[in-house]
Amino acid sequence: MKSLKNDTYLRALLRQPTDYTPVWMMRQAGRYLPEYKATRAQAGDFMSLCRNAELACEVTLQPLRRFPLDAAILFSDILTIPDAMGLGLYFETGEGPRFERPVTCAADVARIGIPDPEGELGYVMNAVRTIRRELQGEVPLIGFSGSPWTLATYMVEGGSSKAFTKIKKMMYAEPQTLHALLDKLADSVTSYLNAQVAAGAQSLMIFDTWGGVLTPRDYNDFSLQYMAKIVDGLTREADGRRVPVTLFTKNGGQWLEAIAATGCDAVGLDWTINIADAKRRVGDKVALQGNMDPSMLYASPARIEQEVAGILEGFGHGPGHVFNLGHGIHLDVDPEHAGAFIESVHRLSRPYHAG
């Protein structure tokens, strides 16, 4: 393995000094880029793109050719694990992901096995290996998974949801069934992420997109404790370097302290929290990732720059900040605005790292 040419992102996650604030964007490989749409069209459907290591590598690298991003993130789907569990993932146009065989009862949970990361999920590891090789040490590669709770919402609801009726019925009426499911998911995510590290991922992120629909107690019992279990079970070193772990719960701003206490290295913030307040609350315990409203990329480059300046000022001097959007980039953003965002972060952050 070649040594890493730009390790700013990894250093920031470990709260080590850097020359500037590193930046990447959630969903940086995606539909706002015309070159992504072209590769996607070549692949056919979305899962075929994920399953093809060369094409998944190609879309992973596309944003890095356009922008001086400080990290690459594996291009894959959040629902690879439930798919590998045999639930029959498919995509309905305009409807998002669906499962042919949702989880409805204890017997369904009992039937589920832990997928083999080099078996049913081998296509993901092939993509990681290919991307890591093609990156040639330019920037670190982020591996990722959905959180057990977030995966379970899709598995029990049978797809996307607004009110989470089915999983909440299960949570309140049959909590032990849901815990059994979450336990299997935690084991699956742990082995999946460790395999990604073995295949070349240099940093890990867990996305808990739907933890924010829970009460504080239920968030702790049904989401956070399973993420903490995963963090405990992860390989934390590779190539002689620490592999940092970032946890991100959308709408989790109220629970930052608890998230920071799991043993993760960094906490992702959405845009509903002021980053200065977040830093005050978690202190030096973890690094912070975030947190510009993705919709700000609709504004002019001058307005974007102003917003970046405010967030940098909010975090203040010193290490421990990875700049990002507070959620994935919207599909109809002008790529030039994304470029202006990234350039602003690099340029305006230098004074905060001087001396």
Q: Which stretches of the chain bind its own copies, using CB under 8 A?
A: 163-165, 168-169, 171-173, 212-219, 251, 253-254, 271-274, 277, 293, 295-296, 298-300, 303, 330, 332
Please state at what angle helix 175-199 crosses helix 148-157, rounded to 10 degrees.
Answer: 120
Identity of the amino acid at 86: G
Euclidean distance between CA atoms 232 and 220, whole angstroms: 16
* CA torsion through residues 101, 104, 109, 111, sign: negative
* Structure token pair of residue 61: 């690298």
Q: Which is nearer to its own copies, 253 or 268 (CB)?
A: 253
Supply the minimum distance, in Å, between the C-beta of residue 84 and its own copies: 28
Supply the minimum distance, in Å, between the C-beta of residue 75 and its own copies: 21
Euclidean distance between CA atoms 272 and 294, whole angstroms: 11
Residues marked active site are found at 27, 31, 40, 77, 154
Task: Report cis status (omega within 30 of 0) of the bond before 194.
Answer: no
* Structure token pair of residue 162: 């607004």
Supply the minimum distance, in Å, between the C-beta of residue 220 and its own copies: 10
Q: Which is nearer to its own copies, 20 or 219 (CB)?
A: 219
Q: Which of 220, 275, 228 is nearest to 253 (CA)?
A: 275
Euclidean distance between CA atoms 113 and 36, whole angstroms: 34
Q: Which is nearer to its own copies, 148 or 252 (CB)?
A: 252
Euclidean distance between CA atoms 93 and 297, whole angstroms: 26
Q: Which of 58, 269, 78, 231 is nearest to 277 (CA)?
A: 269
Q: Which is nearer to its own copies, 187 or 293 (CB)?
A: 293
Q: Which is nearer to its own copies, 48 or 254 (CB)?
A: 254
Supply the minimum distance, in Å, between the C-beta of residue 253 and its own copies: 5
- What is the CA 344 to chain-centroid distance, rounded? 23
Supply the minimum distance, in Å, between the C-beta of residue 214 and its own copies: 7
Supply the minimum distance, in Å, between the C-beta of residue 296 and its own copies: 6
* Structure token pair of residue 338: 């994304």
Q: Which is nearer to its own copies, 152 or 245 (CB)?
A: 152
Identity of the amino acid at 206: I
Q: Which is nearer to its own copies, 117 or 252 (CB)?
A: 252
* Per-residue H/E/C for 247-288: EEECCCHHHHHHHHCCCCCEEECCCCCCHHHHHHHHCCCCEE
Supply the minimum distance, in Å, between the C-beta of residue 161 and its own copies: 11
Inter-residue contact 294 to 272 (CB < 8 Å) = no
Euclidean distance between CA atoms 34 and 195, whole angstroms: 31
Q: Which residues are bridge partners to 206 per DSSP?
A: 145, 247
